[in-house]
A and B are shown apart, each in its own frame.
Chain A
Amino acid sequence: MTQNTLTSHQPLIELREVNKTFGAVAALSNVSMEIRPHEVVGLIGENGAGKSTLLKIMSGVYQPDTGAVLRDSKEAKLGSPRIAAQHGIGIVHQEQSLVPTLTVAENILLGNEKSSVKMGLMRWSSMRSKARKFLERVGLDVDPMALTEALSFAQRQMVEIAKALAVIEDSGVAPVIILDEPTSVLEAKDIAVLEAEVSNLKKLGSVIFISHRLDEVLRMSDRVYVMRGGQIVAERKASEADEEELYRLMIGRETSSTYYQEDRRVPYQATKPMIEVNGLSVRGQFNDVSFAAHAGEALSIVGVTGSGREELVRALFGSEPCHQGSISLRGKQTTFRSPRHAVAQGIGYIPAERKAEGMVAGLSVEKNLVLATPKVVTKFGVIDPRARTKLAEKWIRDLSVRPQDPKADLGRFSGGNQQKIVLGKWLLSENQDVLILDHPTRGLDPGAKEDVFRIVRDQCEAGKAVIILPDTLEEALGLSHNILVMRDGKITGRYTCDGENPPTQTELLGKMVAGHVD
């Protein structure tokens, strides 16, 4: 890469009045923006605001209908991701695109192995040293010959970035790295690593950073573009903007001080435990866990990756066998042999991986809605399709799902609307007294999050116990009555949030991370 392009002040990439429509829908209208050298540009907007389309145009997946993309002030036709890479534009995708069964080196050089091939044979030593170079550049200390699936989530994210760097290596121009929601599934300590990485990348070239978390965008970016309805509605210097303003620009309405609807956090029925866990253990995962969740209570369990909280809730749902301890449901001791068994007794579970585990893409909204309790629309064992459609229409209204089409394929809905149906599936039956929500707001935009919070409050009011593995500590504090902190498979802290002295985020973090001094 040549130094003079880096030092000049012309934009590395410029978009001029780009338009893109799909069918009758304008995904982007007259979008103009520029990415300057050594700059981190934040891009925010709700789901469906056009961020993804914009990224795909910059990375060569889509071509604009009208308008132009300029690279170093010269018009560039980015006809494919390969051509975009030749222009130094690399993208780190939101959903990880690594092949888990290949080595780290193979993944980094995937599609760029040519220089390591001699007479049709792979030269592993050359692959290894090349991969090591890119790993060093992102500051990740792993063996390039390790299998990718053995890496932690955060490490794989770094490998993704190394891969993006490898793809654009030979372009000879200053790199522009697009990070598509890199933090949405990272834990707090991993986010710090990523932040360091972003400032590292800034030395090499420029970064476009997409996130739903406004605080992170403000912290990491120099400049922020706000998108809404396929347009760029604002451009702000990060130093001059605040979260409130960005939120307002993004949503198009005032930010509500009642984001978590804290006024609706009414006292729960402390005398009526819905689910009680005593000395529960799963070997190697968590040990001697005891707690109770009561009717009307929102209980958050926080902890970093490896704390055992994911395994704990899976055990509460019968998908992981326990070897010690007991579970009581509505005051009666019970065991959950399988998810099916747990559902029959009144547990509802929303997995973190919505697309892979939470919903059935390819089935209509109404069919997804009745998946868990199909009997609500059957008479004498026969499905009443009209009743099913009517029921779906009611829930579509109640949960404000868009579009309002009970027969449309749920797989084609936006994440927020999908999640509302996934949640709705557990609300059809009166029997579902305990709801376990594993990262219910992961990857959702603020508007959709608010809707999910509203549903949680509604369910508490209806006397259900809601156990949440929240996305952020802020969410835990805003939403729940009580918080359990887990570390290394044990409960390390219990806090009450609706009382006089709610815990601070630092306090919680102190119990989450080992070696942290309170």
Chain B
Amino acid sequence: MSTDTLQRAPLRRITADGNWRSFVPVIVLIVFVAIISAIEPTFIGAPSLKVLIDESLPILILALGQMPVLLVASIDLSSAALASLGTIILAHSLQSFGPGGLLAVLVLTTLAGALNGFLVAVAQVPSFIVTLGALGLWQAAALIWSNAQTVPISTGYEYIGWLVDQQLAGLTVGVWACVVLVILMSLFLYLTNAGQALYAVGLNERATLLTGMAARRTKILAFAISGLSAGLASILLAAKQYSAAPGLADSLLLPCIAAAIIGGCAITGGVGNPLGVLFGALILTVLRVGTTVAGVNPNAQQIIYGFTIIVAVALTIDRRRFSYIK
């Protein structure tokens, strides 16, 4: 039982759970960047890396929202569709409320997430089902509201444009905003009781209930965070595209879940951290951008993509839970 405590002690200072597996995302990222750079040396240059980082932001934001949901052993299939709907809401609310439109989007998407959480925690419908239904709902709402058209954002663009126009130390403000987001998320998870409760509920919901913890509220919170992240992602996407569109973020659904899982989140709950998710998002973006740069046949890119997810999870998964060893 205590055999590996000794050799793991120094590791624990660096990683959250004192486990070498926490490093897998970093190693995978370095290996991919090295391979692609070997094929196409300009890939490692500053301009292309900046593009890469900018590209990774929407996936990162959505994956940071997916993480707390995965922590409580659930899944949110609706977050990308909610982000798409968010861009439509944003286009209209910027016209009506000016900067207040940003707040309106964030409040509405957070509430939409919390509603998912309510159905999961209180009505006890499995999250896969609830969010699958919500996915269709948000997609249809976005289509109807926009008449299935792209909505250009001109009035009020100045309130969101700064995210992609303004630069700070060579990177866009949006990048720094995401760095702050990762830090805030980490602080929330490690230093608040609500953040800690996400882990405990995901690992053993029954025990947390019998300890008098607010397990249901914790689940609702997880989904509300996912909703909030969809709102944030919608603002960034709209700023990038100068427009809103139904389905703008829809293609990010599987990448954002994959990023969280490659970043070390366990689909069974209770395991994961924001830094890992950051690397997960970078890995996925490197795969998407890098395979094109390296001249991989676009039709074959999905092969590498699929292969990576399986290998990364196979390396990261904690098999202690399945072993005989006491």
Which of B90-98, B165-173, B201-209, B225-233 is the interface stretch?
B201-209
Any B CB within 8 A of the CB of A412: yes
Q: Determine which of A24, A359, A378 lies in contact with B207 in the assembled complex, contact meaning CB atoms within 8 Å.
A: A359
Which residues on A sit within 8 Å (CB–CB) of B199?
362-363, 367
Q: Determine which of A371, A408, A413 lies in contact with B208 in the assembled complex, contact meaning CB atoms within 8 Å.
A: A371
Say whether B213 contacts A371, CB under 8 Å: yes
Contact flag A383-B2 (CB < 8 Å), given A357-B206, A359-B204, A360-B200:
no
Bound state CA distance, A143 and B12, in angstroms? 54
Residue from A61, A360, A408 with most neighbouring chain B CB atoms (10 Å): A360
Bound state CA distance, A403 and B12, in angstroms? 16
Say whether A361 contacts B190, CB under 8 Å: no
Which residues on A sit within 8 Å (CB–CB) of B4?
23
B95 to chain A, nearest CB (A): 38
B143 to chain A, nearest CB (A): 42
Bound state CA distance, A24 and B206, in angstroms? 35
Say whether A381 contacts B212, CB under 8 Å: no
Q: Determine which of A22, A361, A372 lies in contact with B211 in the assembled complex, contact meaning CB atoms within 8 Å.
A: A372
Which residues on A sit within 8 Å (CB–CB) of B208?
360, 371
Any B CB within 8 A of the CB of A358: yes
Bound state CA distance, A281 and B198, in angstroms? 35
Nearest B residue to A372 via CB reads B211
Nearest B residue to A375 via CB reads B193
Any A CB within 8 A of the CB of B192: yes
Which residues on B sit within 8 Å (CB–CB) of A359?
204, 207
Which residues on A sit within 8 Å (CB–CB) of B214?
340
Say whether B209 contacts A412, CB under 8 Å: no
| Binary flags per residue of A396-428, CB closer than 8 Å to B gives 1, else 0 | 000000010101100011100000000001000
Any B CB within 8 A of the CB of A510: no
Which residues on B sit within 8 Å (CB–CB) of A24?
3, 6
Say whether B212 contacts A361, CB under 8 Å: no
Any B CB within 8 A of the CB of A344: yes
Any A CB within 8 A of the CB of B271: yes
- A interface, size bucket: 35 or more
Bound state CA distance, A317 and B209, in angstroms? 11
Bound state CA distance, A61 and B214, in angstroms? 40
Nearest A residue to B8 via CB reads A408
Say whether A408 contacts B2, CB under 8 Å: yes
Of residues 9 to 26 in A, which have CB atoms within 8 Å of B's CB atoms?
A: 22-25
Say whether A414 contacts B203, CB under 8 Å: no
Contact flag A61-B204 (CB < 8 Å), given A378-B193, A407-B18, A413-B1:
no
Bound state CA distance, A350 and B241, in angstroms? 56
Bound state CA distance, A378 and B4, in angstroms? 31
Nearest A residue to B12 via CB reads A407
Any B CB within 8 A of the CB of A303: no
Of residues 468 to 508 in A, which have CB atoms within 8 Å of B's CB atoms?
A: none
Say whether B207 contacts A56, CB under 8 Å: no
Bound state CA distance, A62 and B326, in angstroms? 12
Any B CB within 8 A of the CB of A342: yes
Any A CB within 8 A of the CB of B191: yes
Any A CB within 8 A of the CB of B276: no
Any B CB within 8 A of the CB of A273: no
Nearest A residue to B212 via CB reads A343
Nearest B residue to A359 via CB reads B207
| Binary flags per residue of A329-342, CB closer than 8 Å to B gives 1, else 0 | 00000000001111
A180 to chain B, nearest CB (A): 12
| Binary flags per residue of A256-300, CB closer than 8 Å to B gives 1, else 0 | 000000000000000000000000000000000000000000000
| Binary flags per residue of B7-40, CB closer than 8 Å to A gives 1, else 0 | 0000010000010000000000000000000000
Any A CB within 8 A of the CB of B5: yes
Say whether A383 contacts B210, CB under 8 Å: no
Contact flag A342-B1 (CB < 8 Å), given A363-B200, A375-B193, A385-B190:
no
Nearest B residue to A347 via CB reads B212
Nearest A residue to B270 via CB reads A362
A358 to chain B, nearest CB (A): 6
Which residues on B sit within 8 Å (CB–CB) of A340?
212-214
Say whether A381 contacts B213, CB under 8 Å: no
Contact flag A319-B210 (CB < 8 Å), given A381-B192, A407-B12:
yes
Say whether B3 contacts A344, CB under 8 Å: no
Bound state CA distance, A371 and B80, in angstroms? 33
Contact flag A339-B2 (CB < 8 Å), given A360-B204, A383-B190, A383-B191:
no
Say whether A367 contacts B207, CB under 8 Å: no
Nearest A residue to B199 via CB reads A363
Any A CB within 8 A of the CB of B196: yes
Nearest B residue to A413 via CB reads B1
A112 to chain B, nearest CB (A): 21
Of residues 199 to 255 in B, which have CB atoms within 8 Å of A's CB atoms?
A: 199-200, 203-204, 206-214
Bound state CA distance, A414 and B326, in angstroms? 8
Any B CB within 8 A of the CB of A119: no
Any A CB within 8 A of the CB of B324: yes
Say whether B210 contacts A351, CB under 8 Å: yes
Residue from A48, A339, A414 with most neighbouring chain B CB atoms (10 Å): A339
Which residues on A sit within 8 Å (CB–CB) of B203?
360-363
Say whether A339 contacts B1, CB under 8 Å: no
Contact flag A52-B3 (CB < 8 Å), given A367-B196, A375-B193, A381-B192:
no
Bound state CA distance, A216 and B131, in angstroms? 54
| Binary flags per residue of A345-373, CB closer than 8 Å to B gives 1, else 0 | 00001010000111111110001000110
Bound state CA distance, A408 and B270, in angstroms? 16
Of residues 49 to 65 in A, which have CB atoms within 8 Å of B's CB atoms?
A: 52, 56, 61-62
Contact flag A403-B193 (CB < 8 Å), given A359-B204, A361-B203:
no
Q: Determine which of B5, B197, B212, B326 lies in contact with A405 in the assembled complex, contact meaning CB atoms within 8 Å.
A: B5
Residue from B2, B12, B213 with most neighbouring chain A CB atoms (10 Å): B2
Any B CB within 8 A of the CB of A382: yes
Bound state CA distance, A383 and B3, in angstroms? 30
Interface, chain A (partner B; CB < 8 A): 22-25, 48, 52, 56, 61-62, 317, 319, 339-344, 349, 351, 356-363, 367, 371-372, 374-375, 378, 381-383, 385, 403, 405, 407-408, 412-414, 425
**What are 14 inter-chain pairs, A to B, with CB distance below 8 A?**
A22-B325, A25-B3, A319-B210, A343-B211, A344-B212, A351-B210, A357-B207, A362-B199, A362-B204, A363-B270, A367-B196, A374-B197, A383-B192, A403-B5
> Can you add 9 more A-B contacts, CB < 8 Å, to A319-B209, A363-B200, A371-B211?
A22-B325, A48-B1, A61-B324, A317-B210, A339-B210, A360-B203, A374-B193, A405-B2, A414-B1
Interface, chain B (partner A; CB < 8 A): 1-6, 12, 18, 190-193, 196-197, 199-200, 203-204, 206-214, 270-271, 324-326
